[in-house]
Structure 1
Amino acid sequence: MSSDADAIRNWWHTSIIDMEPGRIAFRGHPIETLIGKISFPQMIWLMTAGRLPSSEEAVLLEAALVAGVDHGPQAPSIAAARMTATCGVGLNNAMATGVNMLGDVHGGAGEQCAELYYDIAARMDAGDALEAAVETGLDAWRAVNGKIVSGFGHRFHKPVDPRAPRLMALVREAAQAGTVDGQFAEIGEAVQANLSLRKPIAMNIDGATAVIFCELGFAAPLSRGLFCLSRSVGILAHAWEQMEQGGRNKGPMPPSYFPKYDDT
């Protein structure tokens, strides 16, 4: 029977960090061997995936993180962080408010798109050709999620989301160099082609970053977590800018405007 000390030690168990007074190691790497030696994207990879990536893999991850940092105050997460910053709280509170806005509708498209890509890849592994796997995969997606396919189309950026082509070009370069195999780039482009049969529709940033996260082997739920890391940079910047600008209790619209009252 375990002693009380063992029960306490075993309450949490982790392979991420080994820490005791005077020693810190992440995934078996002493912290002093990492500081100044690896990049922040490499550290993110080590912590989430359990190994150090190659510099080429880290460059591709970094590109996805850079592309998603901000989309302006019209994005609910950014607007919420700016409003929070006028309420007399700290930067951490404003950042937490913004990150907590990143849900299934605003912030979850990358995870959803990655799930679609992985489903299509599984159908290909089972013997379907690319086009057939895309068709049946999209049918299955729509049966559960409706007609909107996450990762494609954009309410502002028409006909092209300027971030997606650049990211896809980097994936193609990485595939040519052997850093990734390019399967999910082909899947993403095939989904876009299928969706464009009726009306042209472009891949957006969520579709492109999902390609990258899948190419690099990250599980679909991590796509959302990695996006949250990326967008938290923009949330921080906007919250800090709002603090510098000042303002008190700023709401979602100027005080001279009032919501429409429905007289029922």
Structure 2
Amino acid sequence: MTDQPSYPTALGASSRTAITLLGQDLAHDVMGEVGFGELAYWLATQRRPTPGQVRVFEAVLAALADHGFTPTAIVTRLTYLSAPDSVQGALAAGLLGGGSRFLGVTEDTGTFLHEVLEGHPGPLPTRDADWDALALETVHASRTAGRFVPGLGHHVHKDGDPRTPRLMEIAAEEEQFGPHLSLFAAIGRTHPQVLGKTLPLNGAGACGAALADLHLPIPLLRGFALLARAAGLIGQLAEEIRNPVANDIFLSVDLNNRPVAPDPYPGNRP
């Protein structure tokens, strides 16, 4: 008789009479006892978070849930207009738009900061002056390499993203203000010396720094942004059902298109 393969998991497992999740009885130890934010953190790390970690994590989720008529929200509403029988398609369309310009900044910033810290020789700074020196070195290196520093700038909040100081305040209150947030804050203080202009630290970047300081898996940081935005997109769909605007958006483009002569693609130059 051939041995059956074994697939070990510490996540969900079912028997005829019970369901376990993370070693807990789902029905009795999790349902009604563990909040969704706490559970999401626990699932990703297989480590139960402290109350302070939960507060910071849920602050990040709130910060990223919805930011108005962004492309992710618009495409969700338009997809629902086109296929109202496919809520999952509308949600998926919005989530698939989470990239380098929207939502992906959370991952990009957390990864960028983590790589700087991982590559830093010796102990990490403990004073603001030393963090500022590291930040200056980091911004200089990025500019020399012709790369942007993720998390700097915002297309709307040009005078400061209100989410950033509040998230930093919450992290400090809960003793979760770690090296990633420290470096990000120092970049905010020092980058004008290199760039010659002052840019706001955007909220998505602050979220990436905070998530990294919570010791969440760096490759999954965009996943947490998408988790937050899924709630926001459900809200967008709920409002679209009650007060639809997608058809107006569609018609504003469809009724105002302007025919022009063909513009042949030039091809790829060597």
TM normalised by structure 2 equals 0.84
Counterpart of 2:231 (choices 230, 233, 237) is 233
Question: 1: distance between equivalents of 2:39 and 2:100?
Answer: 27
Contact 2:91/2:230 (8 A) holds in 1: yes
Contact 1:85/1:243 (8 A) holds in 2: no
In the other structure, the counterpart of 1:130 is 131
User: What is the CA deviation profile of residues 204-244 of structure 1, one whole-angstrom value per residue up to 9, with x for unaligned ones?
Assistant: 11121112101111122222100001111111111222233
SS in 2 for 1:196: helix
Counterpart of 2:81 (choices 86, 95, 106) is 86
SS in 1 for 2:250: coil
In the other structure, the counterpart of 1:58 is 54
- Sort the Cα spacing of 1:203 and 1:260 in 2 relative to 1 into closer, same or farther, 3 A: farther
SS in 1 for 2:82: coil
Question: 1: distance between equivalents of 2:258 and 2:179?
Answer: 49
Instruction: Give the alignment of 1:1-264 within 5 angstroms.
Output: 4=2, 6-7=4-5, 10=6, 12-31=7-26, 32-73=28-69, 75-88=70-83, 89-124=85-120, 126-127=122-123, 129-141=130-142, 146-175=146-175, 180=176, 182-197=178-193, 198-246=196-244, 251=250, 253-258=252-257, 261-264=260-263
Contact 1:87/1:248 (8 A) holds in 2: no
Contact 1:134/1:190 (8 A) holds in 2: yes
Q: Which 5+ residue runs of structure 2 have no aligned equivalent?
A: 125-129, 264-270
Question: 2: distance between equivalents of 1:123 and 1:252?
Answer: 52
TM normalised by structure 1 equals 0.85
Structure 2 residue identity aligned to 1:26: L
Cα RMSD over matched residues?
Answer: 2.4
- Sort the Cα spacing of 1:30 and 1:191 in 2 relative to 1 into closer, same or farther, 3 A: same
- Sort the Cα spacing of 1:92 and 1:199 in 2 relative to 1 into closer, same or farther, 3 A: same
Contact 1:83/1:252 (8 A) holds in 2: no
Structure 2 residue identity aligned to 1:153: G
Contact 1:42/1:53 (8 A) holds in 2: yes
User: How many pairs were matched up?
Assistant: 253
Using the TM superposition, give the Cα deviation of residue 15 of structure 1 relative to its aligned residue in structure 2, in angstroms.
Answer: 2.3
Structure 1 residue identity aligned to 2:66: D
Structure 1 residue identity aligned to 2:77: R
Contact 1:120/1:134 (8 A) holds in 2: no
Using the TM superposition, give the Cα deviation of residue 126 of structure 1 relative to its aligned residue in structure 2, in angstroms.
Answer: 3.1
Question: 2: distance between equivalents of 1:143 and 1:230?
Answer: 35
Question: 2: distance between equivalents of 1:100 and 1:209?
Answer: 20
Question: 1: distance between equivalents of 2:89 and 2:252?
Answer: 21
Using the TM superposition, give the Cα deviation of residue 140 of structure 1 relative to its aligned residue in structure 2, in angstroms.
Answer: 5.0
Question: 2: distance between equivalents of 1:116 and 1:171?
Answer: 20
Structure 1 residue identity aligned to 2:257: F
Contact 2:76/2:237 (8 A) holds in 1: yes
- Sort the Cα spacing of 1:142 and 1:29 in 2 relative to 1 into closer, same or farther, 3 A: farther
Percent identity of paired positions between Structure 1 and Structure 2: 22
SS in 2 for 1:151: coil
